[in-house]
Structure 1
């Protein structure tokens, strides 16, 4: 953990957070506090890579950008690092991707983040107005797709090993859970 975190006065500001730069841990800003976790496991990263491979052709065809592990600014006090985002706009000079142009956010659960990925992050992404939330359960490899309805997400599908998720929105993609791992 960077020494600059220890003893830092609360609350953390966006500029304080961004001054940390790249770290070995995954660090997110939530309402003036930091959420700190270990880097993703190899299995986690391979699943994210599989999702990226499934989504990338549809993103390219729809002139959308897919970004893995990026600073996503939900507001001035909330910056999260989702496993991937699909966005309609991209500013290459920005420190963060703003939530407004983000069409889909994806997370892969891990033992230390499962509750955050299932409960906290969907609430935060919904509050930011991101229409689609894709959640992969790492252990079972089920793929859960949620769509924003009002202020909350509603489940649109759960796809298990041996089944196929055919996305039509926000980009066209075919996701087969068993293909997320080699």
Structure 2
């Protein structure tokens, strides 16, 4: 359910209005005075994000970088997105948002219904903000794609599917095996409790 504050608010939305929403059940992002409202992430989505965090964290620690899942990322004064993860070079623990100029890599896990946003719109916005690397995981196929900023847009540098390995050397060292982003045994339902 969309919060009443969203339905009752007139356009345009300012950064302060957006941040005043606080935590919501939906993913609500600020884009040029309007809002992008997406559904809450699925369990599969969140498990894949956890797998990415596990794969990237050792390299981040070794390079003195910070890995943050689902954070307010300020691209500019009118754009705040909530990527699935970011790798930062510096961190201000008092800030409401991580500024784009502190982000080395941004990652998204893409699945319907937001696939077009993750494959087209967000890479365009991240590139315009000057973020050097974009990591995209296609949730359905578990394909991982690493893109590097080249001029004003991203260029695909490597791709890995299940059974293959994606090796990152920049901005941190990491090895991502797509099939390991999901546990080998995934329950199809909740465990039964009681006799």
* TM band (smaller chain): over 0.9
TM-score by length of 1: 0.99
For residues 27-52 of structure 1, the C-alpha deviation after alignment (integer angstroms, 9 at most, x for no partner) is 00000000001110000000000000
- SS at 1:100 equivalent: helix
1:7 CA drift (Å): 2.4
Q: Is structure 2 residue 86 aligned with structure 1 residue 88?
A: no
Equivalent residues, number: 182
Q: Is structure 2 residue 53 aligned with structure 1 residue 52?
A: yes
Counterpart Cα distance in 1 of 2:4 and 2:129: 31
RMSD of equivalent CA atoms? 0.5
Counterpart Cα distance in 2 of 1:102 and 1:18: 20
Unaligned residue ranges in structure 1 (runs of 5+): none
Within a 5 Å distance, the mapping from 1:22-171 to structure 2 comes to 22-171=23-172
Counterpart Cα distance in 2 of 1:13 and 1:26: 17
- SS at 1:91 equivalent: coil
1:103 CA drift (Å): 0.2
Select the structure of larger CA radius of gyration: 2
TM-score by length of 2: 0.93
